[in-house]
Structure 1
Amino acid sequence: MSSGGKADVLHCEDGSTPDLLDYAFEGENREHEMGVWEAAKSHPWACLWAFVMCFTIVMESFDMFLNGNFVALGAFQRQYGVLIDAANDIYAIPTRWQSALFQAGQCGAFVGVLMAGPITDRLGYRWTTILALVLMNATIFISFFADSLAVLTVGQALEGVPWGLFIANSPAYASEVVPLALRGACTATLQMSWSIGGIIVAAATYGYNQRDDQWAWRVPLALQWIFPTPLLILVFFAPESPWWLIRHGRKEEALRSIKRLGTGDPETAQQTFAMVQRTVEIETQMGGNPRFLDLFKGTDLRRTIIICLMYASQNFAGNLIANQATFFFEQAGISSNRSFELSLINSCLGFVANVCSWFISSWFGRRTIYLWGTATNITLLIILGICASIKQNQSTNYAQACLGIIISFVFAGTLGPISYTIISETSSVRLRALSTGVGRAAYYVAEIPMIYLASQMLNTTGWNLAGKCGYVWAATACVCWIGAYFCLPELKHRTYRESDILFNRKVAARKFKSTVISVTENE
């Protein structure tokens, strides 16, 4: 017993100890009672560290948008492209090389996310991220000094490996360090990092697109170095996730981490510690040490399918239009300089949409946001296809460009950020590092062929569909909507223990919200 008459949670070895359970009940009830503003005031450091970890995604975003802008950059086209119109001196990057540039980083990231689970389980979120940031600094050299498309492609593939580590760890870490009320907003900052990367790229390429020399693309590549070192220093001082520490038996460190993330109040910290330990021990008793094969067994298989669906569906609802915005605008008939301007506007509006998503995720459920956001984009994509199918003039060109921006805005405010929230909440604590990695791998498995398809649809040396690609993306988004309607559960306001119980009971997705779980249940 402690001096205050309460149990010393550090020395409660059994998750069923009455004193520990009392603390766990109090901690979980407090999580449910806290509102968003109260949670933010009492856990400012948790919000900061969650944001820092999520901001590592800016590097993948930066590079993805950068490649999309390179293929529309005049100097880059003349250096590496083929002449398609001698009279007007127009060059274009061949479709196969466009696809290679877009896919190389994703192939590397695919390797990275599969490595992330085992490495994180051994080293923790913090040291895995530090390792990835060091690797990122080194691999940028290859892309910067590349003198051919082949070398640039290799550089992108190697840069992709640390991207995979970042994207697998960030949503898991953010969801574990903040209170229940802040999970939606903090995990949604992943999408904001994408927008910030897009804004920097759009501004840099807009500023350099008039140049006729190699610095038109080398300077934007060099800008990648502004991120890894400052982030490495910040992550070095970040606390490790208390969930990871407790899973590895480091209880004293976990309690210190909880105090650093919250107000430092000993009573509150011990309640949170007890709640975390209770959940971890229940999952450990049910499944033992985490293994890859566990992701495809029992109720964890259902969770893995949902996570993979959420990640993969990000490629099927018009997001690839946003990733290739500048090139899309050019193919829609907009001048090159105006296309770069619109791309910058598109990225800035995406940032605004991300901020709006914080409030949307507080007001509405995850399932509601996903279904309505997808349905909205399906409608807009069909309208885009119709607009591109009629007789073309300046008005239809700008209409396609505006629709492309609106589709990106809707994605950035609904589907994009809420997907990361759903992913981080769906996985079991025991398998989180593995499941987020496998889920992101599903994203790349879906994205790599979709990038090729997107390039084929937009490129003048391919199918040259311009806005008619809206029909294709509307069809794929419909499939995602149907899958989510039947499979996606509502996990807003659910602790990880409650989520475990709901999945173990095999509750139907549409009944998750209405099912009542008592704080005393230990299934």
Structure 2
Amino acid sequence: METDEKQAEKADVLHSEVLVDSDLMNDAFDGENREHEMSTWEAAKKHPWACLWAFTMCFTIVMESFDMFLNGNFVALPAFREKYGVLVDGNDWQIPTKWQSSLFQAGQCGAFVGVFLAGPVTNRLGYRWTTIFALMLMNATIFVSFFANSLTLLVVGQALEGVPWGFFIANSPAYASEIVPLSLRGACTATLQMSWSIGSIIVAAATYGYNKRNDEWAWRVPLALQWIFPTPLLILIFLAPESPWWLIRRGRKAEALRSIERLGNKDPEQSQQALAMMERTVEIEAQMGGSPSLLDLLKGTDLRRTIITCLIYASQNFAGNLIANQATYFFQQAGMSSDRAFELNLINSCLQLVANIISLPLASAFGRRTIFLCGAVVNITLLLLLGIVASITQNAATNYVQAILGIIISFVFAGSLGPIAYTIISETSSVRLRALSTGVGRAAYYVAEIPMIYLASQMLNPTGWNLAGKCGYVWAGTACVCFVSAYFFLPELKDRSYREIDILFNRRIPARKFKSTVIDVRDNE
């Protein structure tokens, strides 16, 4: 009997005080219509501070990127390999596959813990204070890696650093998507991939500059560079406004209104309309689901949304991206000299940043589904070509072709699959479960990445399978799985308000019909 009453209470959303307040609902209608009518350029001009704070939060990802690419370069540093490696074929030092994989996997294991902690902590403290706590933790854990004098201690240091990474990657896309207007969601969340590229450029430049050193400072100086990020970011995040969506979920409407005004809505009427629009969506979701919990991610239509988030996040490890993460080592195994490999890695990192910049207008102009599927097709083709080139008789020309194909694959990923994935996962979850959903989605990423890192190391390492460019066949196969999954399960969410997205999922609309389905501004499902 009690269960029936609870179900009736959840279903009867129209009896909510918010939803029967005619003035508030009219404001909500006007606020949502205004967001739909606002162009990308108009939104950027009216909300420059929202764009700045979104980018600042996304920039925390530069620390995970920095460390991830740093480990990929360590295994290529001659001094590091001679210190911790084994002699292969009597004339070349290599880090054993098990330690190479451990260096790559340790941080991801720590981040796996961090993303599960991020959701509950963020629901309680908010995005700002949770991120500030993680930045303080990051400052402390860098000490362990910097002073490590063995591979074992370095692996432990990486695992500890991974915990705050989990907080950053769980919170950044959610916060960015909540503070900017609808037309800017794609571009602002896509800047997460830009932060990855900035981190890789700094690493590439540092390791290129120090790769000729034959002492411990060849890797300790790049490790120390990690300290340049947390403190300035901590100060900026402290000054940033909290997400108004989070404040409304906590019942702090006056603070939410001030946050909306700080983010760019200076006109009192427009600010009130934006607040009403958020109140309406939050109230509908609250009536349908109550207080958020991890178990809610597996219930009803939220299960479908969780699966999509996990699939898209995990797919980043299957479309050839791990070639970019180990680019320097890949170039060496493709036949490049050590110096040339580090030069190519720096070029590769800079081109990824160019691709990220190109992706920003693409995310505003084209649908999420379109960009993802097209990027997957192009990379599948390039990966097959890479495998074919590596399979023929090898010479200097084929070595360079493999290196160039590796760079192009990274470029395509950085301009399509990489950035658009962050947009998709930030939009797919309900507002009520967003902090939890982005964390669990990233956990799926790490679950997929940890074995894939081992596979990537095994394929490239001379002490493993020594496949070099032939790994393109393997990654082309896994990228095909990503394409098929996205074709059948990935809906088009571009230009949809969070209320509209909720309704589309609640109606169980097939993924390929999301774009054509019409939702009335007065629907309160």
Verify same fold: TM over 0.5.
yes
Aligned position for 1:468: 470
What residue identity is the alignment partner of 1:487?
F
What residue identity is the alignment partner of 1:156?
Q
- Aligned pair count reads 510
What residue identity is the alignment partner of 2:35?
E
Alignment of 1:145 with 2:140, yes or no, is no
Contact 1:488/1:509 (8 A) holds in 2:
yes
Alignment of 1:34 with 2:38, yes or no, is yes
Aligned position for 1:377: 379
Aligned position for 1:391: 393
Aligned position for 1:412: 414
Aligned position for 1:78: 82
Aligned position for 1:351: 353
Aligned position for 1:180: 182
Q: Distance in 2 between matches of 1:16 and 1:277?
A: 12
Q: Distance in 1 between matches of 2:253 and 2:267?
A: 17
Alignment of 1:497 with 2:515, yes or no, is no
Q: Distance in 2 between matches of 1:143 and 1:115?
A: 22
Residue 69 (structure 1) aligned to one of 45, 48, 73: 73
Q: Cα deviations across residues 318-352 of structure 1 (Å, max 9, x unaligned)?
A: 00000000000000000000000000000000000
Contact 1:373/1:415 (8 A) holds in 2:
yes
Q: Distance in 2 between matches of 1:398 and 1:13?
A: 67
Residue 512 (structure 1) aligned to one of 501, 506, 514: 514
Task: Report the 3-state secondary structure (helix = DSSP H, G, I; strand = E; otherwise coil) of the residue aligned with 2:88.
Answer: strand
What residue identity is the alignment partner of 2:187?
A
Contact 1:15/1:277 (8 A) holds in 2:
no
Q: Cα deviations across residues 172-201 of structure 1 (Å, max 9, x unaligned)?
A: 000000000000000000000000000000
Aligned position for 2:3: none
Q: Percent identity?
A: 79
Q: Distance in 2 between matches of 1:120 and 1:330?
A: 42
Contact 2:18/2:279 (8 A) holds in 1:
no
What residue identity is the alignment partner of 2:490?
L
Aligned position for 2:9: none
TM-score, with normalisation over the residues of structure 1?
A: 0.97
Aligned position for 1:364: 366
Task: Report the 3-state secondary structure (helix = DSSP H, G, I; strand = E; otherwise coil) of the residue aligned with 1:122.
Answer: helix
Equivalent runs, 1:164-179 vs 2, <5 Å: 164-179=166-181
Tell me the CA shift for residue 85 of structure 1: 3.3
Tell me the CA shift for residue 13 of structure 1: 5.3
Mark the runs of 5 or more structure 2 residues left unpaired by the alignment.
1-15
Q: Distance in 1 between matches of 2:315 and 2:275?
A: 35
Task: Report the 3-state secondary structure (helix = DSSP H, G, I; strand = E; otherwise coil) of the residue aligned with 1:26.
Answer: helix
Contact 1:175/1:187 (8 A) holds in 2:
yes
Equivalent runs, 1:191-202 vs 2, <5 Å: 191-202=193-204
CA RMSD of aligned residues (A): 0.7
Q: Distance in 1 between matches of 2:517 and 2:266?
A: 34
Task: Report the 3-state secondary structure (helix = DSSP H, G, I; strand = E; otherwise coil) of the residue aligned with 1:83.
Answer: strand
Q: Distance in 1 between matches of 2:19 and 2:147?
A: 56
Aligned position for 2:285: 283
Q: Distance in 2 between matches of 1:376 and 1:248?
A: 44
- Structure 1 stretches of 4+ with a deviation exceeding 3 A read none
What residue identity is the alignment partner of 1:57?
I
Task: Report the 3-state secondary structure (helix = DSSP H, G, I; strand = E; otherwise coil) of the residue aligned with 1:91.
Answer: strand
TM-score, with normalisation over the residues of structure 2?
A: 0.97
Tell me the CA shift for residue 425 of structure 1: 0.5
Equivalent runs, 1:426-441 vs 2, <5 Å: 426-441=428-443
Task: Report the 3-state secondary structure (helix = DSSP H, G, I; strand = E; otherwise coil) of the residue aligned with 2:87.
Answer: strand
Alignment of 1:46 with 2:11, yes or no, is no
Q: Distance in 1 between matches of 2:80 and 2:267?
A: 57
Contact 1:139/1:155 (8 A) holds in 2:
yes
Q: Distance in 1 between matches of 2:424 and 2:461?
A: 34
Q: Distance in 2 between matches of 1:299 and 1:16?
A: 25
What residue identity is the alignment partner of 1:20?
L
Aligned position for 1:233: 235
Contact 1:62/1:194 (8 A) holds in 2:
yes
